[in-house]
A and B are shown apart, each in its own frame.
Chain A
Amino acid sequence: MGQLTGPTDPAADAGWGDVKPRKGFFTDTSICIGCKACEVACKEWNRNPRDGDLELLGSSYDNTGALGASTWRHVAFIEQGKDRIEAARESGRALIDLGMPAVPAPSDTDTRPPDTPEFRWLMSSDVCKHCTHAGCLDVCPTGALFRTEFGTVVVQHDVCNGCGTCVAGCPFGVVERRSDGTYATSERQSDRLAHEFVTGVAQKCTLCYDRLVEDEIPACAKTCPTTSIKFGNHDELVERAKERVAELHAQGRTEARLYGANEHDGVGGIGSIFLLLDEPEVYGLPPDPRVCTADLPTMFKRAGLAAAGMFGAAAVAFWRSR
């Protein structure tokens, strides 16, 4: 049993001898234009089928809805007016004031935010977080979910028996059991195209494991026209994210904040970090996720106590009746 909480290198913790640098995404939502090319590239590469009926959801330009078994990238669209913009700027400032890295001292230059003050459109491409402590992986009974040498989390669809425990185990609502079918990705796309029907099993973003082993970058990052989705070594991405958020703060855009770049958070940091322009829940992300297995020692203790109590109750019931 590996480490359940706190900072760690997930691949080394999982027992990989030959650990590669941890890979991940940095999704900078401040430069996302909502083109959904990532959604398309992901679907095409991974051969994921259509998700549900084609319907207009009435949520701005988002007709995808949410991440799911067949949707491994999801672009969120949020339309906000003046009040929300100010609230976001204020909540961001409160975050900065928490004693975390300070905003550069105000200078004489014009630092008024460059965006329109009355209206803004937030767009963010969501994806599996590839957590340091992944709830889905830890609760999987079959070992179908595993930690790769790149520190990412991948489902082996041919091992998964579709028990669905991982679905409930994910604090971000990413993994889902697929109820319709598709063709599996082949590890060697060039040699053969595996036409395999995949259904009834858990599915989620693999961070394009099949591309990583060939030294390719994930399809979504490759296709992103604005480099909003950046792929690379996790540590370097965290550094870049910190630089970028400082840059935005210096422009007076205090609403900018990082999500998942803190290895001391409830999931030990995540592989796919985000730069957000409002509170995480506005984007459908949990504000304080905690991996369920972090409390496993407590749960084992309480369950042991309860089982002992049941045993004791039965002993009392029979003892007195002798």
Chain B
Amino acid sequence: MTTSEFDSLRPPEPTGGKRRRNGKGKGRRAVADGSREMPMVPEAEFSSYYGRPVVKPAPWGHEVAAYLFLGGVAGGSGLLAAGAQLTGRTKLRRNARLSALVAVILSAAALVKDLGRPERFVNMLRTIKLTSPMSLGSWILSSFSAGAGIAAAAEIDRMTGERLPLGPLRPVLRAVEGPAGLEAGLFAPPLAVYTAVLLGDTATPTWNAAHEDLPFVFVSSASLAASGLAMITTPVAEAGPARKLAVLGVLGDLTAMKVMERRMDPVAAEPLHHGDPGRLLRWSERLVIVGGLGALFGGRHRGAAALSGLALMTASALTRFGVFEAGKESARHPRYTIEPQRRRLAARRAAGITDDSITTAG
């Protein structure tokens, strides 16, 4: 609508799909979370406020995506270590315990680095909040680390020929090593799964829409990643359980991913298929299949086992980065928030439920 001769001096109207090829406006206010970026998702059938996002993406960097992977590896390794401990597989136990320790140290470092105020990381443990997956996760991670750390310390002491300066504490370490390993095993599945709740329990459209099935994806991914690592580190004679867990993890991962995608709101699921996240997840699926087949048929060959293990670990990392980035992408565009919400509101109204809308006529 032209109402003034000065209209020609205005910047272009940022509506609809016309801006798609118009690169002039994009990224003009690059703020870390992209909340001020101009719209990249065009052909809107819905209204939005100048194409700006409704929700904000979590200010989490790649460290958190890496943590999703490393936490899974740590949890899975802790579980394998406990199993090896109970079934007397000393090499698998040693390698899995060391893997768990390294993974958990890297995990914690990634988490702390991602904080806005890293020096205050201990504030995570100033309370226990049942409504906060981050709080529960911090406690799970700490509890797991305690057990995994003690168990791994005992292994390191043995490997170095009792050269750790333990003094009179050595018998104590020997005595608590077993219980500590089992304690870590007990906290291993929660460690692998809580990150799924952490993502699901947000307003980020793609993560939130996946809240029912993401836990199954994440435990499967953790299982196959840790098993893959054990297949790399451990001779085939002792890695039998790791191969089995890997195959079960592969089956779980493929199934859970499909079920999750089907049960999600179709619009909220879109970022899982498009762009970089889509590419990551497609490669992840391929590598999961390759790694699973490798573990199943070539697992008794040392080289094949190691390659399969590498494929599985890579696949798990790609899954985590894919899901992570898909969620962030979904928060950057208003469409993923508005369309599913409008649809569910309309569905409730069609079903005769009219008393629970945030918008009311009076």
A residues bordering B, Cβ < 8 Å?
Answer: 1-2, 4, 52-53, 55-59, 62, 65-66, 68, 76, 78, 81, 92, 95-96, 98-101, 118-119, 135, 138-144, 159-165, 167-179, 199-202, 242, 245-246, 249, 257-262, 264-267, 270, 276, 278-289, 292-293, 295-296, 298-300, 302-303, 305-311, 313-318, 320-322
Contacts and interface: CB of A to CB of B under 8 A. Distances in A.
Contacts of A165: 58, 132-134, 198, 202
Given A287-B341, A307-B190, A200 B123 contact: no
Interface stretch (B99-107, B148-156, B166-174, B351-359): B351-359
A318 to B, nearest CB: 4
Contacts of A262: 355-358, 360
30 contacts: A52-B36, A62-B50, A65-B29, A65-B35, A65-B52, A96-B362, A100-B362, A101-B362, A118-B1, A119-B3, A135-B202, A161-B115, A162-B120, A167-B58, A167-B59, A171-B55, A173-B54, A175-B56, A179-B32, A261-B360, A265-B358, A280-B358, A287-B345, A288-B344, A288-B345, A305-B216, A306-B196, A308-B189, A314-B80, A321-B244
B193 interface: yes
A270 B357 CA distance: 12
Contacts of A245: 361-362
Contacts of A76: 49
A168 B244 contact: no
B360 A139 contact: no
B256 to A, nearest CB: 8
B1 A100 contact: no
B189 A307 contact: yes
B192 A310 contact: yes
A292 B208 contact: yes
**Which of A298, A300, A309 lies at the interface centre, i.e. has the most chain B CB atoms within 10 A of its CB?**
A309
Given A298-B212, A299-B200, A310 B124 contact: no
A172 B202 CA distance: 11
Given A55-B28, A288-B345, A314 B202 contact: no
Given A56-B11, A172-B55, A177-B59, A95 B124 contact: no
Interface string B210-228: 0111011011101100000
Contact of B203 (A65, A171, A258): A171
Interface in B41-63: 46-50, 52-60
B196 A303 contact: yes
Contact of B189 (A259, A265, A311): A311
B56 A249 contact: no
B142 interface: no
Contacts of B10: 58
A141 B358 contact: no
B248 interface: yes
A314 B245 contact: yes
- Indicate the size class of the contact surface on chain B: 35 or more
Contacts of A293: 131, 201
Contacts of A258: 359-362
A280 B212 CA distance: 28
Contacts of B114: 163-164
A300 B197 contact: yes
B45 to A, nearest CB: 12
B38 to A, nearest CB: 8
B318 interface: no
Contacts of B135: 140-142
Contacts of B28: 55, 57
**Which of B80, B188, B203 lies at the interface centre, i.e. has the most chain A CB atoms within 10 A of its CB?**
B203
Interface in B332-349: 334, 337-338, 341-342, 344-345, 349
Given A78-B49, A143-B126, A321-B87, A58 B12 contact: yes
A167 B202 CA distance: 9
B201 A139 contact: yes
Contact of B361 (A96, A167, A287, A320): A96
Contact of A285 (B3, B54, B57): B54
B361 A310 contact: no
A295 B211 contact: yes
Interface in B18-36: 25, 28-29, 31-33, 35-36
A96 to B, nearest CB: 4
Contacts of B12: 58
Given A95-B361, A317-B244, 10 more contacts: A96-B362, A100-B362, A101-B361, A167-B33, A176-B59, A245-B362, A249-B361, A267-B358, A287-B359, A317-B241
A245 B54 CA distance: 25
B189 A161 contact: no
Given A65-B52, A172-B54, A296-B201, A309 B252 contact: yes
Contacts of B203: 135, 168-171, 173, 289, 292
